[in-house]
Structure 1
Amino acid sequence: MTEKAEGPAEERHASWLELFFDLVAVAGVGQLAHLVHGSTSWADVGLYVVCFLAFWTAWMCFTVYGNVVGGAAKTMPVLAAMAGLVVMAASVSGIHGEHAKIFAVAYVAVRVLSDRVWEHREDGVRVLVDWPVAQVGFGVTPWLVSIWVPSPWRYWLWALGVLVDLVITFTLSGKRLTENVTAKLASRPGPAVLPTAARLDTAHFGERLGLFTIIVLGEGVLTVTDAMAGAPKWNGPLYWTVFAALGLLATLWAAALREGSGGIPYLAPDRLSPRVLLPLHGLVAGLLAAFATGLGDAIEAAEHQHVEASTRWLLAGCVAALAVIGALAGLRSGRRGWWAAVVLIPGLLIPAAIGFFGGSLAPARLLWLLVVAAGAGLGGWFFAQRASARDEAGRGAPPA
């Protein structure tokens, strides 16, 4: 197998084709978030997780394709994948009925296409060693079978397909994948073709993941705006709730993008391998999308000043999960143990208190408490920076 450098050495940014392709994520995230809007059923939460990860995986397959091949990306396959993702997004509204079949068919079509785009007759076959899911279709098989299986077994097959993809991500080595592709090529008639190892451009890829996170946070801003626009009466409690929601989104943005990398809170660049970074990004994006729905419910609750238990737990659970992810990512990035404690203690205790005892909290107070919980890591970073600056100033000061 030959090793080939993919893309130019200089810093790359998202192309117009990539940015246009990202528009489908705007539609998809908005539709998927409706699966948990006002729901109190764990079955709906589970279906949301499976559908979100399926949509994210299909989007990611073509995102890594554009990242690896750069300007050589073929427009028509990308646009065809975009059409498939649009069909998936539109099918979400009827996912409990016949539209579930359409969702599965569209997903299978996008995944099959994502495998085919790696075969270029003019420059051989690439093997994506950093994320084999884009080329290994075993996880698609349960989805294909589900087309002829009635509910609720259909959804269990979808979950199995997602699980298979995760197993492939963490267990199939680049060497094994290359051997499989080589054997497949050897069985074809004609001259022998050696596969080419393809690796991600990590700097460009971090930007792509960050853009998806921005899209998800943008869904939160849109949800807040729609909820405020639909409020029957604009008064002080509504304004304070809206400001708290926007402050919470800004806090999550700062943690995930300003102080994080690839949309992961407090993660430094190049600290995680793509095989860990990608599933973690999917998890964080799914949490943020569900969180955006909860914000809309909280703002709607400003009228009667009572947040339903399901909404409290959704918001609190998402903040707590993000605190755990952020603390672990920060430790992985070289931050100190005391900083992780600063993140985890309020990041877990405040959401737990809100979930168990926050039934009497007004929506604005509930959201401002979550701002404190989500922003503890930012405060710890700020004080650490100030302490470091004072130490450097002290060492540089002349003796008295």
Structure 2
Amino acid sequence: MTSPVRTFLAPMRARSADEPHRVSTPLELFFDLCFVVAVAQAALPLHHSIAEHHVGHGLYGYLTVFFAIWWAWMNFTWFASAYDTDDDVYRITTLVQIAGALVLAAGVEAAFERTDFLVITVGYVIMRLALVSQWLRAARSDPPRRATAYRYAVGVTAVQVLWLLRLLIPHDSPWITPAFVALAILELAVPVWAEAAPGGPTTYHPHHITERYGLFTIIVLGEAVLSATVAFQSAFDEGEHEFPLISLAISGIVIVFALWWTYFDRSAHNLITRLRTSLMWGYGHYFIFAAAAAVGAGIGVNVDYATHHAEISRTVAAYAIAVPVAVYLFFVWLLHIRPHQRGLLLATYPVGVVLCLLTPLVPGSVEVLAVLLVVLVAVNSMGARRVPDPIA
């Protein structure tokens, strides 16, 4: 069987939602890899802000920057699931989106330190307008869903104009945050409006989508793995803090392993077969992705605390890990685990979330958190083997 010959410009027809052997492409994997840079650039200032006791400022900057990263990644992912032609123009347009992500990453420091959103906005708009060109191609080649594609193109373009106009608002204006919230809501509303077009929704592939989300989850968890590695390195470099840092590093690795386990314990492709549930599932991952990357920042904060380089208390340092872990667990349970659970197992994750938020109040909080997550994984794994999956 010979491989099809790639052309410079192929018709961008909708791919089948039940296409067999639909997996992530090398271009999509490269796209994700380049987004690692943007994720790392967002997590680093959060780490420093918490360590310097500027928690509110750091959290605000992180959540706003991460929204831009996540939203651009998510829109490309769902578009590619329906219209990936892998012709030359498609590849070039995707590479332009990657370039936009790198520009965005370059502007993260200015956004955090000086509330200067020029570079980060330009990078974001580059990513979004490149996708608009893809939607216009889809509108030309896919007559049944032409109205849907045009709605995406018009909606995305209009919001990008508004993002650029937001740059005219002074950095210290009280309107800067309400303007961001309003534009973020408009961004979220575009797919809802577009997918309701008379031509019907796009033909995303459930297996492909869940694989793409799983791969990005691994990427953001990689930030925590990196931070745990730094803890090991610091333990060998700083002899006087060796034991606390080794304990932190081991606990951090266990926490990351447990977070990976909870996400991939059950398949989610059968949960996104309808538009409404797909939107909720896709949008809810903002909290999973942001929390996973923030766990890495939290481990970094605790390394600074253990080496006396942080200006915060032990409790604040512990919450830097406990809060993102709790947020991650809650949304993984809400989106992935809850539909599969019955009986007493249904309460294990909510109880675990509450206990996570209490761990900073006890000595050895990070180690206690790691043990708690191991118990949570063990209880749910054993319970899942006894109870048939109601979704299957």
TM-score computed with the length of structure 1 as normaliser: 0.79
Structure 1 residue 202 corresponds to structure 2 residue 233? no
Q: Aligned partners of 1:124, 1:388: CA distance in 2, in Å? A: 44
2:171 aligns to what? Answer: 151
Q: Structure 1 residues 72 and 347 mapped into 2: Cα distance closer, same or farther (>3 Å)?
A: same
How many pairs align?
357
Instruction: Please point out which of 41, 66, 71 is paired with 2:55.
Output: 41
Comparing 252-261 with 132-141, greater Cα deviation is found at 132-141
Q: CA deviation at 1:33?
A: 0.6
Q: Aligned partners of 1:37, 1:385: CA distance in 2, in Å? A: 36
1:371 aligns to what? Answer: 370
2:28 aligns to what? Answer: 18
Question: RMSD value over aligned CA atoms?
Answer: 3.1
Structure 1, residues 348-389: CA drift from partner, whole Å, max 9, x if none? 1x233234x24xx3xxx3222212333444222233245459
Instruction: Please say if residues 33 and 289 of structure 1, whose CA atoms lie closer than 8 Å, have aligned partners that are also in contact.
Output: yes
Instruction: Please say if residues 219 and 292 of structure 1, whose CA atoms lie closer than 8 Å, have aligned partners that are also in contact.
Output: yes
Q: Residue type matched to 2:365 in 1? A: L
Q: Aligned partners of 1:29, 1:311: CA distance in 2, in Å? A: 21
1:105 aligns to what? Answer: 122
Following TM superposition, where does structure 1 have runs of at least 4 consecutive aligned residues deviating by more than 4 angstroms?
124-130, 132-135, 267-272, 304-307, 385-389
Q: Residue type matched to 1:297 in 2? A: V
Structure 1 residue 91 corresponds to structure 2 residue 107? yes
Instruction: Please point out which of 251, 268, 271 is paired with 1:244.
Output: 251
Q: Residue type matched to 2:323 in 1? A: G
Structure 1 residue 212 corresponds to structure 2 residue 222? no
Residue pairs, 1:223-238, within 5 angstroms: 223-231=227-235, 232-234=237-239, 235-238=242-245
2:136 aligns to what? Answer: 119
Which sections of structure 2, spanning at least 5 residues, go unmatched? 1-12
Q: Percent identity over the alignment?
A: 23
Q: CA deviation at 1:326?
A: 3.4
Secondary structure of 2:247's counterpart equals helix
Residue pairs, 1:1-400, within 5 angstroms: 5-6=15-16, 9-39=19-49, 40-72=54-86, 74-95=90-111, 96-97=113-114, 99-120=116-137, 123-124=141-142, 126=145, 136-137=155-156, 138-153=158-173, 154-169=176-191, 171-172=192-193, 174-175=195-196, 177-178=197-198, 198-231=202-235, 232-234=237-239, 235-259=242-266, 261=268, 273-303=277-307, 308-329=314-335, 332-348=338-354, 350-355=355-360, 357-358=361-362, 361=363, 365-385=364-384, 387=386
Q: Structure 1 residues 13 and 388 mapped into 2: Cα distance closer, same or farther (>3 Å)?
A: closer
Q: Residue type matched to 2:85 in 1? A: G
Q: Residue type matched to 2:38 in 1? A: G
Q: Structure 1 residues 385 and 283 mapped into 2: Cα distance closer, same or farther (>3 Å)?
A: closer
Q: Aligned partners of 1:48, 1:386: CA distance in 2, in Å? A: 39
Q: Structure 1 residues 376 and 328 mapped into 2: Cα distance closer, same or farther (>3 Å)?
A: farther
Q: Structure 1 residues 71 and 133 mapped into 2: Cα distance closer, same or farther (>3 Å)?
A: closer
Q: Aligned partners of 1:368, 1:303: CA distance in 2, in Å? A: 17
TM-score computed with the length of structure 2 as normaliser: 0.80
Q: Residue type matched to 2:79 in 1? A: Y
Q: Structure 1 residues 92 and 302 mapped into 2: Cα distance closer, same or farther (>3 Å)?
A: same
Q: Aligned partners of 1:199, 1:35: CA distance in 2, in Å? A: 38
Q: Aligned partners of 1:295, 1:63: CA distance in 2, in Å? A: 29
> Which protein shows a greater Rg?
1
